[in-house]
Structure 1
Amino acid sequence: DPAPGCHGTACAGKDPVLMACGLPGRADALGAPHRTGTGASVEIRYSQVCAAAWGRIWHSHVGDSVEISAPGTPSRRVVVTGEADTRAYRFTPMLGDPDQNQVRLCFVPPHGTAQECFRP
């Protein structure tokens, strides 16, 4: 496997796939995956190797988005923009070195429905 491309705060805002933080054996779920009211699934991912967290969404709809946040760090968001995105995992950019217990992931549906938020 390639070496991780970042660690801790250096991962902030970067892509977990491009930085090799999300490779098998390098990332685990923080808590259980959640199924949203619209049927999309969301999950908080964390890599010990990279000391970074991110959100992912799948079984989604065009316009769905997820936003990951933690105290003391800017939140990061990904929006499902096309039909191809609905059939794949989509990832937020990473939070670098967050407090794992304080990470929050919010699902935001496109039509003004209330967001759904989850913690590990």
Structure 2
Amino acid sequence: MSLLPLEPTAEESACAEALRAIRSRSGLSLKEVAAQTPYSKSSWERYLNGKTPPPRAAVVALCRLARQPPAHTLALWERAETARNRPPRPAAPAPVPEPAAGAVPVPVREEPPRPEQHNRRPSLRHARTAVVLAAALLCTVWLVMAGPWRSESADADAPASSEPEFACYGQRCTGQDVIATRCGMHPAMVATHRPAPGLRVDLRYEAGCGAGWARVWGQRIGDVFTVSAAGGAPQTLTVPDKYATGVRLHTPMVATDSPETLRVCVSRAPDGPRQCYPAASPTP
């Protein structure tokens, strides 16, 4: 009897979405990613679609291919691992059936309670207590001594325990990825446009990064999206293959301190006309 595959958790889906965005940002096909990593093309397809949890080394390898810091993506991976290994909630106890009408209840013989045994093997209990106290003392000493150097040499890939800081601001964000820089965690919606049936383009902005970008849904292979702002270099996203369709994608960021100057241009494949849309009030 075969078991049905488990549905991915919300954390696993977020991790898979981040990996798809990084792979799209790299401009590499799955075949090229497989050729430059120890993992096959079919394995990468399962990782990116959320069918199989990726190993930590695969996440690091993909980030290096895309030349992006792995810290934020590894934080998503850690949350997905924690969620996947979380023990299931215990099932509710089965209800006790009511006796049928007219049935004679059968008396249940109860065992008399056993007298509590006090002071059983006191020496063993005291020894265990001493071991626990000694271990706690050693842990306390280690934390006090390790604190200074841990704060100075902590691994850059370790996930942050609180809200992470943004990795760039202004011109340093131009051309950068919204996930790797953490700018895409809580951005503001500037405008929403629907250039064609099934296609949605959102202009988004993060004041903490001083940068904006376009998020697209419903894209097709070969579609081109270019985001620009006053005084910033335009940034372009081209949909490379079928694995970059059916998911949310982001253009690279463009620096600006005026989100109202953001503009996105869309060229639909094949040979579709170029249409540009300025920032405007969001539409539902």
Q: TM-score, normalising length from structure 1?
A: 0.89
Matched ranges for 1:41-120 at <5 A: 41-120=200-279
Question: Any idea what SS the aligned residue of 1:16 has?
Answer: coil
* TM-score of the two chains, using structure 2 as the length reference: 0.39
Moved over 6 A (4+): none
Distance (whole Å) between structure 2 residues aligned to residue 87 and residue 17 of structure 1: 18
Q: What is aligned with 2:177?
A: 15
User: Is the Cα contact below 8 Å between 1:42 and 1:58 reproduced in 2?
Assistant: yes
Match of 1:30? 190
Q: Distance in 2 between matches of 1:99 and 1:48?
A: 9
Shift of residue 87 of structure 1?
1.4
Q: Percent identity over the alignment?
A: 27
Contact 2:211/2:257 (8 A) holds in 1: yes
**Which structure has the larger Rg?**
2
- Matches of 1:97 and 1:72, distance apart in 2: 7
Aligned residues: CA RMSD: 1.4
In the alignment, which residue of structure 1 is the partner of 2:62? Answer: none
How far the C-alpha of 1:84 sits from its partner, in A, is: 1.7
Q: Using the alignment, how far apart are the partners of 1:39 and 1:21 within structure 2?
A: 26
Task: State the shift of 1:39 in Å.
Answer: 2.8
Give 1:98 deviation, angstroms. 4.4
The 1:80/1:38 distance shift into structure 2, 3 A limit, reads farther
Deviations 1:66-108 (A, max 9, x none): 1001222110010111112111111111111243222110111
Is the CA contact 2:175–2:253 (under 8 Å) kept in the aligned structure 1?
yes
Q: Which has the higher contact order (CA 8 A, sep 6+)?
A: 1
Asked if 1:4 corresponds to 2:166, the answer is yes
Q: Deviations over 1:41-66 (max 9, x none)?
A: 11111001111101111111111121
**What SS does structure 2 have at the residue aligned with 1:9?**
helix
Matching residue's letter, 1:13: G
User: Counterpart of 2:177 in structure 1: which amino acid?
Assistant: D
CA distance in 1, matches of 2:184, 2:223: 22
Any unmatched runs of 5+ in structure 2? 1-162, 280-284
Greater shift in the superposed pair: 68-77 or 97-106: 97-106
Whole-Å separation in 1 of the counterparts to 2:250 and 2:225 = 9
Higher mean C-alpha displacement, 95-104 vs 10-19: 95-104
CA distance in 1 between partners of 2:205 and 2:225 (Å)? 16
Aligned length: 117
Unaligned runs of 5+ in 1: none
Distance 1:13 1:66, change over 3 A: same
